[in-house]
Structure 1
Amino acid sequence: MALFPAFAGISEAPDSGSSRKELDWLSNPSFCVGSITSLSQQTEAAPAHVSEGSPLTRSPLKSEPSDESDTDKKLKQISRKKKKEKKKKRKHQHHKKTKRKHGQSSSSRSETDTDSEKDKPSRGVVGSKRESEKPKYKRKGDSCLGINPKKQCISWEGTSTEKKHSRKQVERYFTKKSVGLMNIDGAAISSKTEPPSSEPISFIPVKDLEDAAPVTTWLNPLGIYDQSTTQWLQGQGPPEQESKQPDTQPDSESAALKAKVEEFNRRVRENPRDTQLWMAFVAFQDEVMKSPGLYAIEEGEQEKRKRSLKLILEKKLAILERAIESNQSSVDLKLAKLKLCTEFWEPSTLVKEWQKLIFLHPNNTALWQKYLLFCQSQFSTFSISKIHSLYGKCLSTLSAVKDGSILSHPALPGTEEAMFALFLQQCHFLRQAGHSEKAVALFQAMVDFTFFKPDSVKDLPTKGQVEFFEPFWDSGEPRAGEKGARGWKAWMHQQERGGWVVINPDEDDDEPEEDDQEIKDKTLPRWQIWLAAERSRDQRHWRPWRPDKTKKQTEEDCEDPERQVLFDDIGQSLIRLSSHNLQFQLVEAFLQFLGVPSGLTPPASCLYLAMDENSIFDNGLYDEKPLTFFNPSFSGASCVGRMDRLGCPRWTRGQNREGEEFIRNVFHLVMPLFSGKEKSQLCFSWLQYEIAKVIWCLHTKNKKRLKSQGKNCKKLAKNLLKEPENRNNFCLWKQYAHLEWLLGNTEDARKVFDTALGMAGSRELKDSDLCELSLLYAELEVELSPEVRGAATARAVHILTKLTESSPCGPYTGQVLAVHILKARKTYEHALQDCLGDSCVSDPAPTDSCSRLISLAKCFMLFQYLTTGIDAAVRIYEQVFAKLNSYVFPEGSGEGDSASSESWTSVLEAITLMHTSLLRFHMKVSVYPLAPLREALSQALKLYPGNQVLWRSYVQIQNKSHSASKTRRFFDTITRSAKALEPWLFAIEAEKLRKRLVETVQRLDGREIHATIPETGLTHRIQALFENAMRSDSGSQCPLLWRMYLNFLVSLGNKERSKGVFYKALQNCPWAKVLYLDAVEYFPDEMQEILDLMTEKELRVRLPLEELELLLED
């Protein structure tokens, strides 16, 4: 009898001739066929047959419900134990047999029995090696054979003849097809208009849909079933047309899109000259491709084409080519085509197309700016010398256009301002690439070329003036910032008159130079030594090297030839600035470049290109002194010579001795060139620069340097005030008194304030400088320590009250009477109303009127806060805001229509800053809810998304909140609408602060509790913010953003991804030296490769590795 009952018939077939003795073990004589039915005839409820000699009974199957007794459960447990013991014995015996067989096979192996390794898996049947004798079935199930049909089955190999029916999954709400259904325009529902009844009704009547009596049938005895239910009861389905009705909804959407496409085609045929319409048609292609395949031919092709980016680009390119055929002179369409073709063309092909476009439009400054940025961010073709010469070609071409030398292309409006912005962009490019000497030399040449031009060459075109300037540059005459500089004009006059100039040796030459040892600790790793030495040289060697004639030096004495700047390096970039405002901006930009806070914000075209350090997030002493601490309106750009590591706190600590002398010489040279407000602004910047160094000494608690710096600063303030034109300059008096207050000399500072206010006379509220002086005096008194706050508040009220009186302000004598306070309030109210009325009538707004309105509103707000309370001060702000906001943005429009809207926007911004500072101070000294401040900041940031001071305040107060949802929603709203990069930067900073807070909590008391407080996905959110911020042009070419991203990934420990981001950053900002320095710090093993890359791209490497090895050997 066969061992396998399912194949009993096959095994019992009489075949005496072919029977083999070696297969007799497959027969089981003790097995009876009658004891079990055939496998094919078993039913689902077939009970288990029990052997007669067995004392135990089998338990019923799990699939059949039965009530088991306790004895059955015990028997089950016993049988399980026995099975386990048998299994262990069987395994043990099998292990012994395999060992014995292995030993025998290794000794008695013949050549005929050897098989290849490929045949071993084919041994499906014992004693056979043929593929045809492998079993064609597989058992499925773990129960006894032939017992339970529910738990076992046999699957045959080979393809099934039955057709597999594919299960169609139910589509979820978020699938593309379901989302497409939501875009269908719904049918408008309108109620029938009926005349209202005169009598009130107690309920709303509901009319029957059908007035006829319901039809009753045997399936629908009550007449309440609809047609679909009746068909279901009859076992019928809906008609074929009705079943396909839902599929017609996407067709309606496709029809709507086709209608829009046809509308666009019709409009561009009728108006082929409308470039904005063509651009809108190009943008519409994104919406078309998001919809379920409008252009798809088959169903399978639909999804494929829907995801195809190339198809979108090709359609856009085809539309743009049609548009350019109709508008050959449109620069915007050609720019859009070039931007689109970056996905298709090679960089060399793109450069050629750009050159063709520039050749056709050499007078378009916006096109030049985009071309420079494109070439600057192409890593494969990038080199410093190539881009530097390209800037020179751009500025020289635009100068020729402005002079009228290129007759075919006239100068466009705003050409001079755009040229100045490109000049600043070139200077920041050279500074960030490490070529500080060339950048400083450009500023030096522009100062001489602009302010000290001889009269004999003023009528020449720019090219001719540059040719005359070359002999002066090569003459060795001192330049701007160097000792003894007299300017180009004086040198030219000297040359015409003849003779020579006696050179007096400097008195300071004998002073020993500061011992600046480059390598202080040779035991440090090599990469740390190189970084420290490289940054030290950057800080000391930013001025162009000139041979000292008093020491009989020549050009050959220069150890580093790169420190010398030739005329060929700067000649092409010299431009003429005829506007007096631009000339003053040139001086302010030069001083800001040197580290002096001049208050100038770079032009929008190069604003984010210049940002490379994270000082925009530093609050400094703003928390301690929210009313009086100086907070610059713009920061984020390093001064020349500074390439510090990211995260290093930046304070105005000044330059070295030679650098400080250079800055003083620049001030002495340019201050006589201006008068009035401009000269006052320069003096204010100089004194503010010195005071900033005093604040740094206070912050670092360096008492020795604080004493010397305070002494020098007071000396400068007194010297400036001694000049006749500065004796009544309230800006300088204000800065001098503030300096005394910072140094802790409170009584001396009060004397300075009282002296300055006594000089004012009876100007009352008409002088904005006097109002600012009184405001600072009152704010400093208010911010005194809590112990003396009561008396200080009385002093502040006295100052602001005296400001409204016609008599000069005298020293504080005691509490101010209530009558004087009421009079002062009335005076403030009338003055503010008059100022608002006069200012809004005049168009454009004069500068004096704007500054007067700012100072008056700030004084009135502080006065109301001190006398009435914070709510009264907020009402003043709301009054001014409502008036100016309706004037700047009439009828809720997004842009101002008048020419003076920009000036009024700055007025509103300054008053908003005062409002938020006042709220912050009030929260500091008393209990006050956070909601008013948060609401004020949110409202202000929607209007001024680029204001860094407001963002700093917003991030700081929101960091105290435990719920991040409101902050994230606000940032999401601003980033969707604003073009500025600041919302992205501060959104990232807010999330990083939250992550730092979470990590601090998780590591409380030296133990980690990661399991109880999860990270809630902050890491992925910050990475997503970085990626989204870099999708814009301003974000992808901002070195600060890439530095922050790289630093964040390194802090996570993700080294491989950090390297990927570094090389991606080089693809967009290959000129930024700080990125390479950061990479050396983060990946020290690849230092040699990074330095080779810097050398290849011609970035400035001041300490080659060969020189470093020599220094380490000494």
Structure 2
Amino acid sequence: MSLFPAYGGGQPLAPGSAKEEAKPEEATATGANWKNNESYIQKHIEDVNIATQEAQPDSSSSSEDSEEEADKDKQEDVPKTKEIPRGKRLEFDASDEFYVDKKSNSSYRNINTLTKPTRPRYKTRMARLRDENHKHRGFSRADSKLSLKNSRYVKKQLPVEALSEEEVARLQEQLTRSKVLVQREPEVLDHWLELHRLLNLNLDKANRLAVAEHQLHTLEAALEHHPSNQQILRLYTDVANATYQASEVAARFEKMLKRNPFEYILWTNLIMVTQGNMARCRVPAVLQIYAYSMRRMHVGHTDEITRRFETTETDVIMLKLFHNCLLFLRQSGNINRMFSVIRLSMELNFPGLTMNCLEASAANEAPLIEFEEMVLGSGMPMPEIWTRVEKLRQAYCYLPYPISTSSSIEDFKGEWDTERYMFSDDIVPYAHALKSPDNRLHLLLVVVQLTKMPLIRSCCLADKLNPCIDEFGETEAIEMLFAVLADRHSYAVSASNYADCDAPMMNLAKEMSVTPSFMPHFVGHDVYADTVSTLILKCSEAFSDEETKRRIFLILWLRFQRLLIVLHKLTGKLTKSYVKDTRNRIREEISKSENREVVRFYTELALCEFEGQNDNDNDWRFFSIFWKIITEKSAESSRISCPDIMHLYIVCAELLIQNRHKDRAIDVLVSLCIETHIILDETSISSKQVIVESIKSGIKLVNAELKALDAQPAEMALEEYFMPNRLLILLRALSLLDTLYDPRNLEVKQFLSDLQQKEFGPEAAKTSERKRFLREQVMEIQLLQLQLSISLAGDIEIYCGFSERKLEDLLDRGLDEFPRNMVFLQHWTNLKTILWHKQRARFIRTKAGIASLAHLVIAAHSRVQIIEPTDTFSKDAIRVAVRNRLINLFETYLPTNSNRSEMEEEQYRALRRNSIYWRLYMTCLSDTKATFQRSREVLLMAIDECPWDKALLMEGGKVLPNELSFLQDLMTEKEIRIFAVPEELGILRDQ
């Protein structure tokens, strides 16, 4: 057969084939004369009327002429149509050796995947009310078709405002002028910032690489004149990260650190180039940079290059790097090494102090085996078994093994984990002795904070202990929200006012907390709580020769005991036996000879008794503690001079106010304002004249304290943040007394307003740390004053003209000046009368990092708690609505949001390095029945931002169980600590 069947070469056709129906002329044409095949010549086909061919009757010639004329007229009227040729039916012939496709295959009509340029881009426009160009219109089919067609193949460019020639010429002149100004006046910072802004406009339409290199060169010149300016360093970091690869950016930072090795921002950026990069992040590589940086701070000023930085205190930078290093160890799961470094650091800085409490105990880990056997025999899928066993071992096996001795080996026989044994090379590079003994308090406070103990409630204290760095991740411990529970703002207002926020806060903490933790819902929480308690007492023992610092840690220990009681109460697990055990522990500690005479400890004991009682209890044991102390101190002296006694009086008055003993509270406050002990006579009632005179006396005492304030240094010592302040106690007493006496009285309120405008004004707060702290505390007192008047009178308008708007303005100013103040965040979360978009916008503007986002999530949940489920709004519908609102919130910060504001972009710089943000995002996606592909994309984005965080990877395995093996391999690759090897669990389950 011929290769081309259409040209058979004159061969005979097979019998029964369709080719036998062909005419002889066609066969001849396809034969020898195939070159002159006439079938391809277009022949002329005459138009023939079918009707005339069918009807041909016999008639005379005369009639035929007339009929022919009529037929011609009809032919002209009928439209001409071409004859459609019929196609031949093709059939399969086995002798042809080829297959004729008679029926189309529908599978070829669909394409499973498209190449990248032709993939459709489905973008959701996240419009806002403030968008000017957005047209609010309904759905249009034509618009949807047009948008789909355009978005599928054409990428729309962002609207860029084209500059006119006059504007370009003006900006170029301004650029030339800025270049001249930085040469003439290089010490002026604004000239360099303006030059950087003009260079970023790219007026010459140059290559972006050339523009970036020009900007970097300019910023390097600016750093020579402003070596430690944070604005220039931040701009340099942004341009370098956007221009070069991570390795080249790291080389540039190393080169800059050789010239200025005592710049904390440069060190953090160098660390994040490795720690925050998916390709470069490995735990040993990151720890190597930490070791090098801390070693450099320990060596200090040793060469001629660093002589000009002799004024820089290296201990401050060392403490910041120490905090970040331990935070990285905790987030990467290396908790054993973290506690080993803590132990070595404390022993180096406090010679003679033994830290055996940070060694593993076989007795504490005994319940672990029983829990593991229950999980292994439960019949759950292997991914779920691995997740639960990993959390169990992390909750119990967080401490390193003790020094290898025969007894310790015998205690842990059969359970020896080599990674829990710490060698000197594992911990020595990260622990150094501080040069100044004054910084040891800062060190121990950082240590206590890293155990997830919430001790920071004030914004000023947060700025002093650990300043917020945009490029560096904050803590992933959600327990920081409990600072308002461990150290309440005031006891004058009942805790039931915050009940709507407490429940969502506890639910959020249960979801986001990571073992080991003292949260009561965790298995093994009591073991970790004992470890934290013992560590705080060891810190107090370290300052045995410094009484003030020793008391600070005992106060923190008492607050921690009170916090545990509150957490057990909120989770419904508080029992009388637990309260009794806590009471016995506190009394045993207070009964020691060195603590027996400290009034502040008895105040904390009374607060623990108050928190431990139920709502229906009439046991006023805490008041008996107050009356006993007052009786003893009044027998010694009739005057109140000690700040601890003044603090006891103010706490006693607030508890009396909460329990509706208004007259008794007024007597206590009057005694405090006149600095005279109260006479314990229940029938005594202060007259109006006595109250007015006591208010005047209190104002005189405040003025005397204000005069003494000028003689004190502008910088506050760290211990002053934890000790009672006479000025603040007097101001609080005046505010409470004035509100109880007459809420309409303006004297004390105007006095506080004058303080905020003059002595503690914004300008004074910028130059003095002490006045800034006092300004923050006075603002809290103003908030308490308004809050108390509402609870007592029940009408917000009674507060001397204060309206709901005044309350919002007070909190708005407070969050603007002190964004990390937990009291202001809690009160703004608790507002129910404000519109959601206003509440949301205020949290977005608050530069508090993950704390503002967490409170925003709590606010979203608390607002829907007042909605009772009905037929229209079921529980599931409300839950889905809240989840959708939260997903919209999380996506607002993402770079994929084309309508993202500058403030949201700035907030994302801090949120993107925090695993809580990504874990909340993935949890909401899993609860709203989102596709696995969408959850997977979010997981990959989160891993790219936080590749070192173990809690994030564990959350990813929970949301996407199919990806768990990949995540386990990633943990192994990054050398993240894994307590339970999957192969080991497989063997144990089979056994």
**TM-score with structure 1 setting the length:** 0.65
Structure 2 residue 89 is the aligned partner of structure 1 residue 105 = yes
Residue 1025 of structure 1 corresponds to which residue in structure 2?
A: 893
Structure 2 residue 367 is the aligned partner of structure 1 residue 539 = no
Contact conserved, 1:652 with 1:696, CA < 8 A, in 2? yes
Residue 315 of structure 1 corresponds to which residue in structure 2?
A: 211
Aligned residue identity for 1:1042: W
Q: Percent identity?
A: 16
* Cα pair distance change 1:116/1:954, threshold 3 Å: same
The alpha-carbon deviation at position 1075 of structure 1 amounts to 0.3
Residues of 2 paired with 1:405 and 1:566: CA distance?
36
Residue 446 of structure 2 corresponds to which residue in structure 1?
A: 589
Secondary structure of the 1:280 match is helix
The alpha-carbon deviation at position 1099 of structure 1 amounts to 0.4
Residues of 2 paired with 1:325 and 1:1070: CA distance?
34
The equivalent position to 2:697 in structure 1, one of 827, 850, 874, is 827
Residues of 2 paired with 1:628 and 1:550: CA distance?
56
Residue 729 of structure 1 corresponds to which residue in structure 2?
A: 598
Residue 276 of structure 2 corresponds to which residue in structure 1?
A: 377
Residues of 1 paired with 2:75 and 2:405: CA distance?
125
The alpha-carbon deviation at position 344 of structure 1 amounts to 3.4
Residues of 2 paired with 1:407 and 1:361: CA distance?
7
The alpha-carbon deviation at position 566 of structure 1 amounts to 1.0
* Cα pair distance change 1:1036/1:699, threshold 3 Å: closer
606-615 vs 445-454, greater mean Cα deviation: 606-615
599-608 vs 569-578, greater mean Cα deviation: 599-608
Number of aligned positions between the proteins: 823
The alpha-carbon deviation at position 858 of structure 1 amounts to 1.0
Contact conserved, 1:771 with 1:859, CA < 8 A, in 2? no
* Cα pair distance change 1:447/1:1107, threshold 3 Å: same
Structure 2 residue 577 is the aligned partner of structure 1 residue 708 = yes
Aligned positions of 1:752-771 closer than 5 A? 752-761=625-634, 762=637, 764=639, 766-771=641-646
Aligned residue identity for 2:657: V
The equivalent position to 1:772 in structure 2, one of 647, 650, 653, is 647
Structure 2 residue 374 is the aligned partner of structure 1 residue 520 = yes
Render the CA deviation track for 1:618-669: whole Å, top value 9, x for unaligned.
777989967476999xxx9xxxxx9964279987549656545544543554
The alpha-carbon deviation at position 876 of structure 1 amounts to 2.8
Contact conserved, 2:491 with 2:654, CA < 8 A, in 1? no
Contact conserved, 1:737 with 1:752, CA < 8 A, in 2? yes
Structure 2 residue 467 is the aligned partner of structure 1 residue 604 = yes
Aligned positions of 1:321-470 closer than 5 A? 321=217, 324=220, 336-337=235-236, 339-402=238-301, 410-452=309-351
* Cα pair distance change 1:733/1:939, threshold 3 Å: same
Render the CA deviation track for 1:425-478: whole Å, top value 9, x for unaligned.
111110111000111111100111001079xxxxxxxxxxxxxxxxxxxxxxx6
Aligned residue identity for 1:677: T
Residues of 1 paired with 2:369 and 2:101: CA distance?
78
Residue 62 of structure 1 corresponds to which residue in structure 2?
A: none
Residue 697 of structure 1 corresponds to which residue in structure 2?
A: 568
Structure 2 residue 731 is the aligned partner of structure 1 residue 867 = no
Secondary structure of the 2:627 match is helix
Render the CA deviation track for 1:706-751: whole Å, top value 9, x for unaligned.
3333223222332333334433322111111122233337432222
Residues of 2 paired with 1:363 and 1:524: CA distance?
53
Residue 501 of structure 1 corresponds to which residue in structure 2?
A: none
Structural RMSD (CA):
4.7
Aligned positions of 1:431-580 closer than 5 A? 431-452=330-351, 479-481=355-357, 516-521=370-375, 522-547=378-403, 549=405, 551=407, 553=409, 559-580=416-437
Aligned residue identity for 1:949: V
Structure 2 residue 765 is the aligned partner of structure 1 residue 902 = no
Residues of 2 paired with 1:1016 and 1:548: CA distance?
54
Residues of 1 paired with 2:233 and 2:692: CA distance?
66
* Cα pair distance change 1:752/1:543, threshold 3 Å: same
* Cα pair distance change 1:556/1:329, threshold 3 Å: farther
Ranked by relative contact order (alpha carbons within 8 Å, sequence separation 6 or more), the top structure is: 2
Aligned residue identity for 2:216: L
410-419 vs 532-541, greater mean Cα deviation: 410-419
Q: Mind listing any 5+ residue stretches in structure 1 that lack a counterpart?
A: 1-16, 39-97, 121-173, 182-249, 297-309, 455-477, 485-505, 637-641
Secondary structure of the 1:341 match is helix
The alpha-carbon deviation at position 400 of structure 1 amounts to 0.9
Contact conserved, 2:298 with 2:432, CA < 8 A, in 1? yes
Residues of 2 paired with 1:510 and 1:344: CA distance?
52
Secondary structure of the 1:1004 match is coil
Residues of 1 paired with 2:561 and 2:537: CA distance?
15
Structure 2 residue 959 is the aligned partner of structure 1 residue 1082 = yes
Structure 2 residue 739 is the aligned partner of structure 1 residue 876 = no
Residue 1091 of structure 1 corresponds to which residue in structure 2?
A: 968
Aligned residue identity for 1:1024: T
Residues of 2 paired with 1:643 and 1:1089: CA distance?
28
The alpha-carbon deviation at position 832 of structure 1 amounts to 2.2
The alpha-carbon deviation at position 534 of structure 1 amounts to 0.9
Residue 1053 of structure 1 corresponds to which residue in structure 2?
A: 929
Contact conserved, 1:519 with 1:529, CA < 8 A, in 2? no
* Cα pair distance change 1:383/1:106, threshold 3 Å: closer
Aligned residue identity for 2:648: L
Aligned residue identity for 2:176: E
The alpha-carbon deviation at position 1035 of structure 1 amounts to 2.6
Aligned residue identity for 2:961: P
Aligned positions of 1:186-265 closer than 5 A? 250-265=164-179
Aligned positions of 1:63-74 closer than 5 A? none
The alpha-carbon deviation at position 263 of structure 1 amounts to 1.8
Aligned residue identity for 1:359: K
* Cα pair distance change 1:106/1:648, threshold 3 Å: same
Residue 624 of structure 2 corresponds to which residue in structure 1?
A: 751
Aligned residue identity for 1:1097: K
Residues of 2 paired with 1:109 and 1:30: CA distance?
49
* Cα pair distance change 1:393/1:556, threshold 3 Å: farther
Aligned residue identity for 2:923: N
The alpha-carbon deviation at position 879 of structure 1 amounts to 2.3
Render the CA deviation track for 1:1039-1065: whole Å, top value 9, x for unaligned.
222222333333333332322222222
Secondary structure of the 1:520 match is helix
733-742 vs 408-417, greater mean Cα deviation: 408-417
* Cα pair distance change 1:775/1:754, threshold 3 Å: same
Aligned residue identity for 2:393: R
* Cα pair distance change 1:746/1:905, threshold 3 Å: farther
Render the CA deviation track for 1:395-428: whole Å, top value 9, x for unaligned.
1111112577987675451321111111111111
Aligned residue identity for 1:537: R
Aligned positions of 1:139-218 closer than 5 A? none
Secondary structure of the 2:242 match is coil
Residues of 1 paired with 2:347 and 2:600: CA distance?
29
Residues of 1 paired with 2:882 and 2:497: CA distance?
37
Render the CA deviation track for 1:1067-1098: whole Å, top value 9, x for unaligned.
22111111001101100111101100011000
The alpha-carbon deviation at position 910 of structure 1 amounts to 2.2
Residue 145 of structure 1 corresponds to which residue in structure 2?
A: none
Residues of 1 paired with 2:408 and 2:888: CA distance?
62
Residues of 2 paired with 1:384 and 1:511: CA distance?
27
Residues of 1 paired with 2:742 and 2:409: CA distance?
71
Structure 2 residue 664 is the aligned partner of structure 1 residue 803 = no
Residues of 1 paired with 2:590 and 2:321: CA distance?
37
The equivalent position to 2:197 in structure 1, one of 283, 298, 301, is 283
* Cα pair distance change 1:514/1:531, threshold 3 Å: closer
* Cα pair distance change 1:108/1:692, threshold 3 Å: closer
The alpha-carbon deviation at position 510 of structure 1 amounts to 12
* Cα pair distance change 1:280/1:18, threshold 3 Å: closer
The equivalent position to 2:512 in structure 1, one of 640, 643, 646, is 646
The alpha-carbon deviation at position 1102 of structure 1 amounts to 0.6
Residues of 2 paired with 1:858 and 1:432: CA distance?
40
Contact conserved, 1:362 with 1:409, CA < 8 A, in 2? no
